[in-house]
Amino acid sequence: MKFKNLRIFGGRAKPAEPDFSRLPQHIAIIMDGNGRWATARALPRTAGHRAGSENFRRIATLCNDIGIRYLTVYAFSTENWSRPKEEVDTIMSLFREYLTEACSELTKKNITLKIIGNTEPLSPDIRELIRETERLSLGNTGLHVNVCLNYGGRAEIVRAAQLLAERVKRGELEPEQIDVACFESCLYTAGIPDPDLIIRPSGELRSSNFLLWQSAYAEFYTTPVLWPDFGREDLFRAISDYQSRSRRFGGLEKR
Ligand code: FPP
């Protein structure tokens, strides 16, 4: 395997190397700690988001290289609009930059991009870039990158309930036909497998409205490392930790 004998350097202890033959299929990341990273360097918070956005590119490339199938990142929540305008504008500019670059880069890297969330309140140029990037990257067979943008787990569930209620009202569906699969088909993530591993850098122990439905049986991992500093060693440590766990999905350990 390409990464089997990879040597890892750095200040922190060398993590146990993950088993590349049984990687999690889907990793989700709450990219937290950008503000603290910047404050610790006497920089504006916006500099932290820029560093976080650069790190997102590095981690996505690494996930693609090692063979992860799905990477979902929490980039902007339905609640993040309450932040100062300058901060929101900077994050939007970072999306704009990323999407512009992604239009030409993703096909070279064989990556598919999907935006998850309500894109309606976004500016028309960003919405157009999203449409174009999603269209151009469709059919690539490497990593699927899902960027949660103006996303909230509760809003997603409410939206699914409304879509189903409309179908019932139109007479297309009976209430008793609504089961887990039917509900899932109305989520933004329809067709995407649930995350196996959810990583939250910066040491927080909250889900913050991220993938509420999809995280039912995800394994959570946190580290004090702030997102802009979260590197290859940290990802490998998270994957190794995940591989040491026993996933029972409510059942009993397989013997
Ligand atoms: C949380 O850290 C981070 C955000 C709300 C924004 C994340 C956005 C990016 C990484 C940039 C754009 C992404 C892409 C995909 C191009 P925080 O600001 O809440 O950190 P703090 O808790 O230390 O204040």
One-letter amino acid at 57 equals: R
- CB 31 near ligand 1, within 6 Å: yes
32 is catalytic: yes
150 included as an active-site residue: no
- Say if residue 218's pLDDT is above 90: yes
Whether the Cβ atoms of residue 67 and residue 141 lie closer than 8 Å to each other: no
What's the pTM value of the predicted model, to 2 decimals? 0.92
CATH superfamily of 26-152+194-243: Decaprenyl diphosphate synthase-like (3.40.1180.10)
pLDDT of residue 8: 38
According to the model, what pLDDT value does residue 250 have?
82
* pLDDT tens per residue across span 77-132: 999 999 999 999 999 999 999 999 998 888 889 999 999 999 999 999 999 999 99
Q: Which residue has the tokens 């309500």?
A: 118
Beta carbons within 10 angstroms of residue 75's beta carbon: 26
Residue of the CA atom closest to atom 3 of ligand 1: 32
The pLDDT of residue 252 is 80
Closest residue to atom 12 of ligand 1, CA basis: 53
Q: Is 145 in the pocket of ligand 1 (CB under 6 A)?
A: no
Nearest-CA residue for ligand 1 atom 22 is 33
pLDDT at residue 240 is higher than 90: yes
**Structure tokens of 49?**
């988001």
Domain boundaries, the chain: 26-152+194-243
